[in-house]
A and B are shown apart, each in its own frame.
Chain A
């Protein structure tokens, strides 16, 4: 999937994660900020990366601001943000 525009998904509420996506600079960049970064930073990164691989996103810049989201929430929010950034209409 080609990332063609900026997009966001999620919120900064507890148990959620706010994901921002921008077109990349020739590679995949994922930055994670989390209230539980020491314990789960790597897991959050891996969850985001897994969704990028599934959607074949190779050139994008992702920023995740985590508020204690579960794996299933992180994946849903990343998928939503990527699809919004990759398509003009996503109804």
Chain B
């Protein structure tokens, strides 16, 4: 289960070395914005060697590569794809054609290295107005696409909006990207909360993101990881209720009842589906309920 994705600058040996100690479900090893133009070659070799040599345990590895309109992306992919990271994150993705071109480059690299084509997945970063408008077609553009990721900082600039802590300016984009991802059957991740010292603000922002359907949230600070993990994990109350739902359904079947109610409410298919997802997440996270 991927609730948090922690950004790690690709040209920082100390941070790469300790990338997996912050309890983030995934780390994003960044070759793009966190790396100065003159150090792109250095970061690429450092990240490649880190993935080859360091053991990140159960932490998923995502590598953010440079945009398609730069000279760097092919070199980034050639260095990283053969190492089979969990996901590649293409940036400033504007439309399905962008993904087709990345897909084609990855096909060639996988074939060249004897890796089954399609092994390495994609999590496109949508951070332009055009990218948000095309979110559904981007999500459906390739079987490699496993999730969409919203980038609010560049998006706000593109929208000519004023970036605020309350984030009203990205409300439509958040709803739009969640809808597109869910319609396409892929996961969806929210933009980082950038005020490292505002714990209450982070909690509100993450709670809102979860409430409208995001799977998880990225972070630029290790300090934010545990709060995000907690928000995107099922609570004990959620787990207990989900167990009661499943038990009520089973009891209904035993009694031959067509309709079942719990706590005075009818249990229908969406409630059962939600309960299953909660229990699945709880199992994956090793969480348990108290219901007997």
Query: Which residues of A approach B to under 8 Å, CB–CB?
Result: 9-10, 13-16, 69-73, 75-77, 79-80, 83-84, 90-91
Contact = CB atoms under 8 A, between A and B. Distances in A.
B72 to A, nearest CB: 7
16 contacts: A9-B42, A13-B14, A15-B13, A16-B13, A69-B13, A72-B53, A72-B54, A73-B13, A73-B17, A73-B49, A73-B50, A76-B48, A79-B45, A80-B42, A80-B46, A91-B41
Range class of the B interface residue count: 10 to 19
A91 B53 contact: no
A80 B75 CA distance: 14
B292 interface: no
A14 B18 CA distance: 13
Could you tell me the dominant secondary structure of chain B's interface residues? helix
A91 B71 CA distance: 7
Interface of B: 12-14, 17, 40-42, 45-46, 48-50, 52-54, 71-72, 75
Given A76-B42, A77-B42, A91 B75 contact: yes
B14 A10 contact: no
Given A9-B42, A91-B40, A15 B49 contact: no
Contact of B13 (A70, A80, A83, A84): A70
B49 A75 contact: yes
